[in-house]
Amino acid sequence: MAPKQRKICLMGFRAVGKSTITIQFVENHCPETYNPTIEGTYQKIIKHRGQDFSTEIIDTAGQDEFSILQKQYSIGIHGYILVYSVTSKASLDVVKVLNDKILNSLGTEKIPRVLVGNKSDLENERVISKEEGQSLANQWECAFVECSGKNNDNVEEIFKQILNEVDKNQQPDTPQKESCILM
């Protein structure tokens, strides 16, 4: 089976761990120092459920409430990984604004997304409970993962979930073929 092409975009507030998650997943190590991202694009073949996915992962620069959603992040993207840090209320607020902007710009609620609460290793600094993250994801009808990019804990799960969400979106409940008549 030919690999399926998937373009996945990570978005979120500054320093929530987008690059750490991406590099941990693609290159299996944790970046040593913090470098604010301008934009990074990574390629990885992911084997998932017996299928190869040729995946392009876009690690974006940190956004805030006022950032304008750039065209290249709203066209041709199959799915979004929306990252906040469990240690930052502000980062959860930013992810809510980003979600609204994505939905508005694409004009549909049916966008494959995974909400990610990163830095789960910092239990003492936690200000967002797992329940709060999960309930937001339920409200958005998307997947939810808590992870630690630093410890490589649950990072792979994020990418499995986004591939699942994209697949779900591409298999409509009512097959469209049936309404198509060949002349």
Ligand X SMILES: Nc1nc2c(ncn2[C@@H]2O[C@H](COP(=O)(O)OP(=O)(O)OP(=O)(O)O)[C@@H](O)[C@H]2O)c(=O)[nH]1
| Interacting residues toward ligand X by CB under 6 A | 12, 14-20, 34, 36-37, 61-62, 118-119, 121-122, 148-150
Question: In Å, what is the CA distance from 168 to each residue of 25, 91, 153?
Answer: 23, 28, 25
Output the smallest distance, CB 147 to ligand X, in A: 7
Q: How far is the CB of 81 from ligand X (least distance, A)?
A: 11
Of 18 and 78, nearer to ligand X (C-beta) is 18
By beta-carbon proximity to ligand X, the closer residue of 59 and 165 is 59
Q: Closest distance between ligand X and the C-beta of residue 79, in Å?
A: 18
If the CB atoms of residues 82 and 143 are measured against ligand X, the closer one turns out to be 82
The distance of closest approach from Cβ of residue 162 to ligand X in the complex, given in angstroms and rounded to an integer, is 17
Q: Pick the closest to residue 58 from 34, 35, 42, 74 (CA basis).
A: 42
- Min CB(155)–ligand X separation in Å: 9
- Closer residue to ligand X in complex, CB, 4/44: 44
The tokens for 160 are 């499995």
CA angle 126/114/37 to nearest 5° reads: 75
Residue type, 85: S
Which of 61, 69 has the CB closer to ligand X?
61
Integer angstrom CA distances of residue 109 from 29, 61, 101, 112, 157: 35, 24, 11, 9, 23
Q: Point out the residue whose Cβ comes nearest to ligand X.
A: 62
CB of 35 to ligand X, least distance (A): 6
Burial of 42 (0-12, 13-18, 19+ CB in 10 A): middle
The SS3 assignment for 109 reads coil
Whole-angstrom distance, CA of residue 135 vs CA of residue 32: 33
Q: By C-beta, is 19 or 55 nearer to ligand X?
A: 19
